[in-house]
Structure 1
């Protein structure tokens, strides 16, 4: 039985009302709700444009596929972190490009910006960096490298709703940003995603790509570019509208939970790398990650199993996609190429900090982790 869930969905009266209106019109594909969701999302986070799609994965591959309009060709390269949710790298492959992997930092879980430049070749056309677990990447360094080599930057912000880096909102510093609205995320639409951009040339291309490559705003059989069918429907958008209208309240509740866990787990800092929030950033309260430190003899998979046996939903921290997941075996990478990502894959885990958790829940998981450490270390 699950006592401490990773995330959940509760649909309130605002969403139900919008869903009912769609049903009354006998039209549930993209319509008024999708347009309102896009508008509200863009206004809330000060993006010039927001393009709704069917999932966070769709947001990633729609953003990557748009690179074809900016000089990228089939088989060209896009730099990605070795550690992330699989959608980041799968999106690159789905769009017809080759993912080129860069290791991450253990302390941040984010791409090591100092290692990006050494992976750039004549075929590199862009990079997709990930704000992992809601912590912003080192965007100054990322953008400096991108400008030097004339690369497009996509921010995978699926886990980072509302995060900021030096007073700049994530998803607005690069050429585009990708967001997910799955159940565990701050803004939720059941399924669904969004691509943000401040580039006026990018928005109509994104809208075209999400609809088979047709010209923006049409559904005729004219196909101008490579594309997918990944439009959001009005039912999902209705749930998302309720979420975005309550964003700040949800964000604050989750941030309170995240900070409470960080405070209660601080005595364990000598055993685990804990999430750190620097003065120049705002970390989005997506989840609570733990990575066992190098000098600590603790089996993270055993800890995960123990927590799950006690009713806590736990997930790994992704690991190294090119060397620890069979799906990428054909790319020919070998264990040892991405030591930090591989270490986190063996020694990392995370669980929720969502808005429906109570103080009792937070105490419960803190006591479990603390008790485990006392017993096994």
Structure 2
């Protein structure tokens, strides 16, 4: 047991060399991300020129649409919160080489559970309705993610396949409940009744739509970083990701870690769904979660699988999407170009990291 305890202590009390390695790794990830973003915007500028528009003017309108007013800033931050929450959980999974791409379904199930809890417990006093609804969202997302974990543990089903398939099931569940027990009678669109005011997320700014979801996301990422770098659980994730045989030698249970990290990632994605319902939509609507989960994978990769670096990556995605709408409205550049920017950014990041690994092997 003593031989096992020593490396576990290193995991949450790192030496100066370990800290230096982390700083170097973070700096490399930041450099790659910055270069990828610059190249993505440069290539996108070429597409804008080919469409007959001025790229400088287009990007200026994009920036104004993201941060040019209090309402624009609020919209961008609200957009970023689900990305940060879901990507934080995905980053923890990827650290252990557990390929969880099921955040889309986990967000959907989290939204369902948050809505159901808010509708049934929305009259509780104080902040209890909000706490209950977010807790319900976390439970729903966590349980949904654990289905994939149990399939891998019990049947050896690859989590890439199971999480991908569960995404579609989760999305279809939203439509099913809205056309069934949770649907608003007489509504012309599949939607739930409005959530009681007591269960809605409080606003941070008077006269603006900025809710506390961004604070929840920042707190979750900070706590996830502490878990990853300062606890035996986080050390186990990193050892498992580095070498499964080393993890077995250190006494790390891959089965327990798989179940625990999938439950944690699913809970964070579920909370992301709850934040979107309780902070933006005020009710459950069909398609509310489409796109968040798959883009959260890109956010996690852009952040170098570091929970703290996920924050600027999530903000980047949220602000670019918010600004793209203004760009289309003001000068007619299609807002779909935001998908080009995001896709090119990921392509360049992955290329840069692939080159880094090749250089370190040489």
Q: Report the TM-score, using the length of structure 1 for normalisation.
A: 0.24
Greater per-residue strand proportion: 1
Greater per-residue helix proportion: 2
Q: Report the TM-score, using the length of structure 2 for normalisation.
A: 0.24
